[in-house]
Amino acid sequence: MAHKTYQYCIAENWGKGFIENNESSKITFRGYPGNVWQVPAHNKNANLWISKVLAVIKTKDEAQTLVDVEVTANQTTWDNDSVTDETSVEKIERIGDRPIDIILEE
């Protein structure tokens, strides 16, 4: 069985105290759309943080689905924001690049 590098969970960032300095200096947090968080697998500090924020563990595939829903919604919003006769370059100049797909790592 492949060794997992990361674990995924969902938790809503309540603001101050959600991730503290002494936590992010010990492990790497990556937040994704849909309140999805990636932290190291098999890591005591990551597990302590998951307990602290009452995060719900998700498999990578479940987390990927949650991220995809949010990204697709953002892409649709971008696609529907059009001005007549506007070139793609002009559109990017006006509202920025189209949101790109996010692929979670194992």
Partner 1 sequence: MTTYKEIQGSTVQNYSGDPANPIKGQVWYDSSAEVLKYSSEVAASAWATGGNLNTGRDSLGGAGATKDAALAFGGGPPPAPTAKTLTESYNGTSWTEVNDFNTGKAQTAGAGTYTSAIASGGDQYSGVTETWNGTSWTSQSNSPNTGKSQGSAGADNTNALFFGGSPHGTNAKTTYWNGSSWTALSDFNTARASIAGAGKTYTAALAISGGTSPSTFNTNVESWNGTSWTEIADVNTGRQSGGGTGTQSSALFYGGYNPGASALTESWNATSWTETTDLSSARSGGGNAGASNTDALLAAGTPNSVATEEWTGAGPVIRTIPIS
Total residue length of the chain: 106
Q: Which of 56, 57, 69, 95 binds partner 1 (CB under 8 A)?
A: 95
Stretch 6-45: interaction string toward partner 1, x if CB under 8 A: -------xxxxxxxxxxxxx--xxxxxx------------
Footprint of partner 1 on 38-57 (CB under 8 A): none
Give the C-alpha separation, 83 to 102, whole Å: 27
Nearer to partner 1 by C-beta: 41 or 78?
78
- 8 A C-beta contact, residue 62 and residue 8: yes
Strands (E), the chain: 6-10, 30-32, 36-40, 56-58
Nearer to partner 1 by C-beta: 4 or 29?
29
Does 93 sit near partner 1 (CB under 8 A)? Answer: yes
Kindly give the pairing relationship between strand 6-10 and strand 30-32: unpaired
Does 92 sit near partner 1 (CB under 8 A)? Answer: yes
Nearer to partner 1 by C-beta: 2 or 25?
25
CB of 51 to partner 1, least distance (A): 17
Structure tokens that stand for 29 in this block: 């947090």
